[in-house]
Amino acid sequence: MAHLRRLAAAAGVALSAIAVFAWPAADPKNNSTVPSTGSPTSSTPARSTTSTGAQFDIGNTINYGSLGTTTTLDCGDGKSLNVGGSNNTLTVKGSCGTVSIGGADNKITIDKIDKELNVVGFNNTISYKQGDPKVDNLGSGNTIKKAG
């Protein structure tokens, strides 16, 4: 009987290790990517970064946070985007549903915003090339413009 308890405990530990270390990679619904310092010509849809940033895709929303990063993100066809952090220079490709910007001193250029642009940070410069989103500038010192 003690042998069976030890075997069950070992199996539980093994399953816990698999859940902790392998589950995200095995989950087909998990679209999270680890930022890389790879070249912008990378074959993955992951963004190229020149310094450390964190991106977590949850459902149809990209959540990106960093300090002092220059990178390219891709909304694809309608993903929403949440950006936090400061002193980032971001180029956002594709068509974003809703974009929310927090933090300070970010310079963000977006191809297209379909629905809403919410800015709650300070001294951010945001431009978008296409779309007619509802714009809420709840922060201070932000510059928001539609690029011609």
Can you give the pLDDT of all 148 residues of the chain as single tens digits?
543 333 333 222 222 222 222 223 333 333 433 343 333 333 334 444 445 689 999 999 999 999 999 999 999 999 999 999 999 999 999 999 999 999 999 999 999 999 999 999 999 999 999 999 999 999 999 999 998 7
The pLDDT assigned to 52 comes to 66
- Cβ within 8 Å of residue 9, ≥6 positions away: none
The pLDDT assigned to 63 comes to 97
Note whether 102 and 121 are within 8 A (CB).
yes
Q: How far apart are CA 22 and CA 107, in angstroms?
A: 36
Q: How far is CA 92 from CA 9, 75, 115, in A?
A: 48, 7, 15
Q: How far is CA 5 from CA 10, 17, 28, 85, 130, in A?
A: 9, 18, 33, 49, 63
The pLDDT assigned to 62 comes to 97
The pLDDT assigned to 35 comes to 42
The pLDDT assigned to 79 comes to 97
The pLDDT assigned to 53 comes to 83
Note whether 35 and 53 are within 8 A (CB).
yes
Query: Amino acid letter at 54?
Result: A
Quick one: which H or E segment has residue 2? helix 2-21
pTM: 0.66
